Structure 1
Amino acid sequence: MTPVYQLRVSDVLVYAAGVWLLVKLARRVTNRSAHGTKLRGPPSTSLIFGLNRELARSPNSGNLYHEWAAQYGPVYEIPTAFGGRKVILCDPKAVNYFYSMERSIYIKGKLLRTVIANIFGQGLLWAEGEDHKRQRKALTPAFSNAAIRRLTEVFYDSGYKLKTHWETMTDNAPAEGAIIDVERWMNRVALDSIGIAGFSHDFKTLDGEYSAVAAAFDSLNFEGQGIISNLAFMLGTAFPWLARMPTKRNRIMRGLRLSMSTIADELLERTRREKSTHVSDETRDRSIIGLLLKAEEQDAELRMDPGEVMAQMVNIRSHLKNPDFNEQLECYETTSVSLTWALIELARNQGMQTKLREELNQFGATDPTWDQLVSSLPYLNAVVLEILRLHPPLGETTRQAAVDDVLPVSEPITTAAGQVVDNIAIAKGTVVTVSIRGMNQTEVLWGPDAKEFKPERWLTLADDPVRAKEIQGHHHLITFLDGPRTCLGKSFALAEFKAVLSTLIRNFTFEFPDGPETEIATHRALINRPKVAGEPGGIVPMRVRRAE
C-alpha cells in the first residue's frame, strides 16, 4: 500500500521560504555578474550574516571601515547577509557625488522605508523624489537665518533655566562641587528647547515634569536584546519584512510612534483651534507647526494631505537635526548627545575648557547674539566643529542604487580582477554606504592626529594641506550630510548647541570625579550615547562647580 504523506503548515512555510531564498540568491548572483564593478574587500565570516555581526558588535564601526580601506582601497565591498554585498565609499570624490545624487539615484532601500513608515509615517523621512522636494520646500522657511536668529533667545532661556537648577545643586553641595549626571540634563534642555522653538509647547522637563516624549525615547534601550531581536536586526537588509516582526526592538519602536503620534495630534489640534479663534502672528505662521498647518490648506502651493502633516509632526518631533532615518531619528537626542560629548571632552582637557571660558567671558554678563555665535567666537566654533567631527551622532549613510550608475573616484581603484579603473560601475539595487564617522576620522583626510580631540585644527585648517578640504560638506564634514538631503535643521542645531554650551561653560566648571582618564563606553540605543564605563545605562556623572 502506497504510504500517504501529509504536509504540515510548518513544512509548507519552510519549503516556501527555501524557494524564496534560492530565488533571491540567484538574483543576487545574476546582478553581480551582469552589472557593476566587482571590487576587492574583506572575506565573509558567515554564510548567513556576512560581516553584519562584526559591524553590529563594533563600538566604533568607523575603525573597521578604516582598516578595510587601508587594505583594499578607498572604494571596496563587504559581504552582507545571505550572499549580499555592500559597496563602501571612502573616496572624497565618490562621496561628494553620492550625496549630490541622493534624491535621484541613491535612495532608501525597502527595509529602511518600511521601518520609517512603521514608526514615523510617510513624511519627509520616508519621502523620495518629488514628494521629498515638495515637503522639504514647505518646511524650509522655519529654518532660515531670520528664523534661527529669533529662536536663539529660546535656546538661551533653556540654558538659563538649567543654570538655575544647577546653581541650587552646587550651592547645597560640598566645596568640591556637586556630582551631576550631565547627560540626563542635556536630554532635558534639548527637549524643552525644541518644544518651545518648534511647537510653542513647553515640556517643562527641566522642572521635573513627566514627558511622554522623553519616556518614549528613554525606552529605546537596545542593550540586552534577545537573540530574535538581534537576528532580525542583522538580517534586515536581506529580509525587509523582519521589520514587522513582534520582536522587542520592533515593539519598542512601534510604541514610540504611538506615543509621538498622540502628542503630535494634540499639538496640531490645539494650534488649529487657536488659529481659528485668534489672529495668528508672523512668528506662529512661520514656525514649524504654523507652516505645517499652512501646507494643510486646500489652496496651498506646496500642499500636504493630513497624513503627511501628521507624519511631519512625528518626524520633526523626533529628529529635526538630521536629514534621514539613520541620520535623524531624534531631534532632541542628537543635540543632547553632542552637548554631552562636548562636556566630556572639555572635562578631559581642562586647558581647553579654560581657554573657551576666557573667550566667552569677553561678553561679560551679556549673551552673544546669534551673529556673534556664528562669526565672533572662533574657539567656540572650533570646539563645536571638533565634537561634530569626532563624535557624529550617527555613524553612516546607507542607500540603494535606483538605477545603474557610474561613480567617479579621485584616485585609481584596483578591482577584484586586478584591473585598475578610474570609475566604478554600480548596478541597480546595489547597497552603498558612506561611513560618516570613518570619513570624519580617517588619517588619510585629516592627518595623523585625526582621532584626537584637537579644536585648534579648525583655527589653522585653511593653511593646512589636508585632503579633508576635498569634502564638500559643512566645513568639510559630512555629519550633516550634503546635497539635496543635507540637514534641514543644521543652523537650528548649531545655534542651540552653541547657545547652551556657552551658557554652561561661562557659569560652571566640569571635571570627572575619578580624573580625566575616566573611561567612556557606549550605551546602545537608537542613537548610541556615551556613558561612563560601569554605569548602568547612559549615565555621565561629573563634578560641577560654579565658575569663578
Structure 2
Amino acid sequence: MNLFTIPVPSPSSLWTTVRSGGAFNVACSFAALWVLVKVSRMLRWRVKTTQLLGPPRTSLVYGVSRDLAISQDRPAMYERWATEYGVVYMIPSVLGQTNVVLCDPKAIAHFYARETWTYVKTPLTLAFLESSIGKGLLWSQGETHRRQRKALTPAFSNAAIRKLTSVFYDSAYKAKGQWDNVIESSKDDDAVIEVQNWMNHISLDTVGIAGFSHDFGSLDGKRVSVAEAFDTIGSNQPSAVDKAVFLLASVFPIILKIPNKRQNMFTQLGITMEQISNELLIRSRREKDADISQVGEENSLIGLLIKSEGQDAELHMSAEEVVAQMKVLLLAGYETTSSESWALIELSRHPDVQTRLREELLAFGPDPTYDQLKANLPYLDAVVHETLRLHPPVRESTRIAAADDVIPLSEPVRTASGNMTDNISIAKGTLITISIAAINRSSTIWGPHAKEFKPDRWLTEDGIGGKAKEVQGHRHLLTFVDGPRMCLGKDFAIVEFKTVLLVLVKNFVFEMRDGPDAPVETVRGVLPRPRVAGEDGTGVPLRVRRYE
C-alpha cells in the first residue's frame, strides 16, 4: 500500500458501525480517521518539503506565534532570524504547524508571480474576509480574482485618477479650513490636533466622492456610521485572550463563528458597510435610470459596478460581488490612511526634512497638476516613498501552497540536514509567510541606515543599494506587493497621499506635542496604526501652527 494512501470507510460500513456500536464508536471512528489523514498529510509534507533551520519552539501550543503576536517589533524578529538561519527558514507555529518564511528577493518574486494560483489565502483569511467584507477583490482568487480585477481596472487608470486629482485637493483644503478655525479659536498661535482622525475623514470623504459620487460629509462634522464602526475597533485593542483565540483560529477557522466582543465589532462593521453600499447602489441605479447623471457612462467605480450587474456584461459580477467591492473600497479608503499619519509623525521628528519639503512646495508655486505631482516634485516623492518603505499599512502576509512547487533562491541556504541548496521544494499545504515590513527595512537589503527616515536615499543613483534593486515591486518596495495581486489602487493612494501632504505642509508646521523624542507605538485598528504612547485608541495628537 502506498505510504500516503489511507483507506476511507464506505458509507455502508460507517452505518454498520452506527448500528452496532452507537454514537461513541462513530465518534471514535471519525477521530481515528481525522488523525490518520493528518498524519498522512504530515508525512507527505515532510518528504516533499525541504526541511530548513529556524528558531526553536517557545510554546508547545503556539510555537513562536505568540511571541510574534505580542512583540512591539515583529519585523525585527523576522530580520534577526534571517541573519541567524538564512534567507529562507522555518518557524514553528500553532499546534504543530510550520511556516516557511521568505526573506530572499528572488524567492519573493517567484512567490508573488504565482500568488492567487499556486499560493492562495489561508482558510482563516478567507473566513475572516468573507464574514467582514464579503467575496470581493480581497477575498477572491484564481479566475474569479482575474475577472473582478479586470472589471474594476478602468476606475484606477491614469486617466481616471487624473480626473480625480481635484477631488483630492478639495478634501485636503476642506481639512485645512477646519484646522484654521481650530487654531483661530485657540488662545495661542497653535493648537493640538489629533491628526489621525482627520486623515481618516479626508480619505473617507475622498473615497465617497471619487468612488461613489457621494459626499459623506465627515470633514463637515457629519455623523458617519461606517466611520464610527471603524473607530470602535481602533478604540478597543485586542486583549491577550483575543490574540490567543485568533492564533487558534489559524488551525480551526470555525472559531471565528464563536461570538466575542472583537469579532462582534467586525461583524457590525461588515453590516454597516453593506447597508451604506446598498444605499449608494440604489441611489446610483435610480439616477442612471432617470438619466440625471452619467454614473453609468463614466469609468467611475460605481459606474463600472452598475455596468457589471447586467447579465450580458462581459465581466459580470453578482449582486453579492458588487456590494463586496464597495466594502473593499470603504475599508481601503479608511484603513490605509496610517501612512499619512506616519508621514506627519516623521516630519515632526525631523524638522529639517519638513522645512526642506515645504521649501520645495512653496517654490513650485500653484497647486501642481496630476502629471506634475508625479514628475516635478522629487523631494515630495522621496518623503512619500520613504514613509511607505518604513510604514507599510499591511505588514505581512501568509499564504498556503495549493500545489507542489520549487522556489529558487538568490543565495544558498543550509538545510536542517546540513546540506547547502539554492532552491527549496514546497509541498501542497505548506504555509508561506512574507514580512513586508521586514523586507522594506532590512539592513541586509537597504544598507546600514535602513531603519532611519532618510528621504535622500530616493534622490541619488546609489541611494538604493544593489540588494534593494533585486526586490520586485513598486520602486523596489513590497508595500503594494507584486504580481497579479499588486494593489489595484496603488496610484490612487500615492496621488492622494501626495496631495494631502502638499496642502498641509505648505500651510502648517508640525511638532510632536510632547517633544521630538515622544515614543510612538504600533497598535491595531483593522490594520496596524501609529499611536502616541499613552493615548487612547489610535490617537496621534500633534502641535500644529500656521506657516507664515
TM-score bracket for the superposition, by shorter chain length = over 0.9
Query: Which stretches in structure 2 are left out of the alignment for 5+ residues?
Result: 1-20
- In the alignment, structure 1 residue 308 sits paired with structure 2 residue 321: yes
Change (3 A) 1:21 1:348: farther
| Deviation of the 1:309 alpha carbon | 1.1
Cα distance, 1:212–1:24 mapped onto 2, change above 3 Å: farther
Alpha-carbon separation, structure 1, partners of 2:458 and 2:30:
54
Residues 446-501 of structure 1: CA deviation (Å, up to 9, x unaligned): 00000000000011145654310001110000100000000000000001000011
Q: CA deviation at 1:408?
A: 0.6
| SS across alignment from 2:215 | coil
Residue 445, structure 1, aligned to residue 445, structure 2: yes
> In terms of mean alpha carbon deviation, does 482-491 or 222-231 score higher?
222-231
Query: Closer, same or farther in 2 for the Cα pair 1:462/1:302, shift >3 Å?
Result: farther
Aligned partner of residue 394 in structure 1, secondary structure: coil
Equivalent pairs, count: 528
Deviation of the 1:405 alpha carbon = 0.1
Q: Take 2:272 and 2:186, find their aligned partners in 1: how far apart are those partners?
A: 37
Is residue 252 of structure 1 aligned with residue 254 of structure 2?
Answer: no
Instruction: Look up the SS of the partner of 2:63 in the other structure.
Output: coil
* Partners of 1:440 and 1:477 within 8 A in 2: yes
Letter aligned with residue 520 of structure 1:
V
Secondary structure at the aligned position of 1:221 is classed as: helix
Contact 1:373 1:495 in 2 (8 A): yes
Identity %: 50
Q: 2-side partners of 1:283 and 1:492: how far apart?
A: 21
Q: Which moved more, 1:14-23 or 1:350-359?
A: 14-23
Question: Aligned-pair distance for 1:547?
Answer: 0.5
SS at match of 1:220: helix
Quote how far apart the aligned CAs of 1:521 are: 1.5
User: Partner residue of 2:99?
Assistant: 86
- 1:144 positional shift: 0.4
Aligned to 1:26: 39
2:432 — aligned with what? 432
Please list every run of 5 or more consecutive structure 1 residues that lacks an aligned counterpart in the other structure: 1-6, 320-330
Matched, 1:347 2:360: no
Whether 1:332 aligns to 2:334 is yes
Q: Partners in 2 of 1:144 and 1:296 — Cα distance?
A: 21
Residue 479 of structure 2 aligns with which residue? 479
1:466-505 alignment runs, 5 A limit: 466-505=466-505
C-alpha displacement of 1:24: 6.3
Residue in 2 aligned with 1:407?
A: 407
Mapped to 1, the partners of 2:182 and 2:33 lie a distance apart of 61
Alignment of 1:12-51 (within 5 A): 22-23=35-36, 25-51=38-64
What is the alpha-carbon distance in structure 1 between the residues aligned to residue 391 and residue 300 of structure 2?
A: 30
Work out whether 1:146 is the aligned partner of 2:159. yes
Q: Which amino acid aligns with 2:49?
A: G
Shift of 1:18: 6.6
Q: Counterpart in 2 of 1:292?
A: 305
1:20 Cα shift? 7.6
1:58 to 71, 86, 91: 71
Give CA-to-partner distance per residue, 1:336-367, whole Å, 9 cap, x none: 21111000000001010000000000233x21
Q: CA deviation at 1:245?
A: 1.6
Q: CA RMSD, aligned part only?
A: 2.1
Alignment of 1:86-235 (within 5 A): 86-221=99-234, 223=236, 225-226=238-239, 228-235=241-248
Q: CA deviation at 1:201?
A: 0.8
Q: Which residue of 1 aligns with 2:396?
A: 396
Distance 1:222 1:169 in 2: 24
Whichever residue aligns with residue 427 of structure 1, its letter is A
Q: Is the 8 A contact 1:447 1:466 kept in 2?
A: no
Equivalence for 1:276: 289
Please state whether the residue corresponding to 2:460 is helix, strand or coil: helix
Q: Can you list the C-alpha shifts for 1:304-342, whole angstroms capped at 9, x where unaligned?
A: 1212112212222222xxxxxxxxxxx2220x2111100
- Equivalence map 1:367-386=2 (5 Å): 367-386=367-386
TM-score by length of 2: 0.92
Give the match's secondary structure for 1:456.
helix
Aligned to 1:240: 253
Counterparts of 1:470 and 1:383, CA distance in 2: 22
Query: Secondary structure of the residue that 1:523 maps to in structure 2?
Result: strand
DSSP 3-state at the match of 1:107: strand
For 1:328, the equivalent position in structure 2 comes to none
User: What amino acid is the match of 1:449?
Assistant: H
User: Distance in 2 between the 1:346 and 1:122 partners?
Assistant: 38
In structure 2, C-alpha distance between the alignment counterparts of 1:15 and 1:508, rounded to whole Å? 69
CA–CA separation in structure 2 for the residues paired with 1:87 and 1:209: 47
Equivalence for 2:526 = 526
User: 1:50: how far off?
Assistant: 1.0
Q: TM-score, normalised by structure 1?
A: 0.92
Which stretch shows the higher mean deviation, 457-466 or 533-542?
Answer: 457-466
CA distance in 2, matches of 1:15, 1:173: 72
Residues 235 and 506 (structure 1 numbering): CA distance in 2 closer, same or farther, change over 3 Å?
Answer: same
Q: CA separation in 2, counterparts of 1:191 and 1:173?
A: 27
Partner of residue 324, structure 1: none
**Contact 1:88 / 1:434 at 8 angstroms: preserved in 2?**
yes
Question: How many angstroms does 1:224 deviate by?
Answer: 5.0
- Residue equivalent to 1:322: none
Contact 2:156–2:492 (CA<8 Å) still a contact in 1?
A: yes
Moved more, 485-494 or 225-234: 225-234
- Cα separation, partners in 2 of 1:392 and 1:297, compared to 1, 3 Å: same
Q: Which amino acid aligns with 2:127?
A: T
